[in-house]
Amino acid sequence: MSADQIAQLMYLVLLTGAIGGFFLLQSRERKSKLVQQAAVWAFIFLGVIAAMGLWSDIRQTVAPRQSVFTEQGRIELPRAPDGHFYMTAQVNGTPIRFVIDTGATGVVLSQRDARRAGIDIETLVYSGQARTANGVVGTAPVRLERISLGGIVDRDVRAWVNGGRMNSSLLGMSYLQRFDKVEISGDRMVLSR
């Protein structure tokens, strides 16, 4: 057992002891009520343990994740509850979550994501402009050393850093055109090379 598992076990033992001690002190005279309450807590405890054990299966069913099939050169993205498709790619070795945006011309990084990917945003020159839903914003051209998804790797990718406020980075058409086929079928987007 690891130190974390031992600490978790000790926490559960102490919590169980505290709850059990409370019930013993509260209902010395009412034994049948004590047994009933102990059974309820035991079922709650077992339910929590079962949910924790099944969480990865539940999460995959409720919120499916992207799948990368390197051998086939294919990426499958599930539609998110908000209706968009998202893809997490390694940009210069850092995981960045992108919104797939067929209305965007290129790859656009938020300042936060650009900083995380190792770009010094303080030295950028915001010489370009982009028209967005929030109005016109300045953009700074950059080159990304590497964008990778599993075994699918692209090098020296042209991108822009958005000078305005942006919730999520965008993966636009200049990157999507690197794929032979972009297909949306039901709640899945499939990118194939």
* 32-45 per-position pLDDT tens digit: 776 777 777 777 87
SS3 labels along the chain = CCHHHHHHHHHHHHHHHHHHHHHHHHCCCCHHHHHHHHHHHHHHHHHHHHHHHHHHHHHHHHCCCCEEECCCCEEEEEECCCCCEEEEEEECCEEEEEEECCCCCCEEECHHHHHHCCCCHHHCCCCEEEEECCEEEEEEEEEEEEEEECCEEEEEEEEEEECCCCCCEEECHHHHCCCCEEEEECCEEEEEC
Mean pLDDT, to the nearest integer, of 92-115? 93
* 104-116 per-position pLDDT tens digit: 889 999 999 999 9
pLDDT band at 29 (very low <50, low <70, confident <90, very high): low
Domains of the chain: 3-62 (no CATH), 67-192 (2.40.70.10)
Out of 43-47, 126-130, 176-180, which region has the weakest mean confidence (pLDDT)? Answer: 43-47
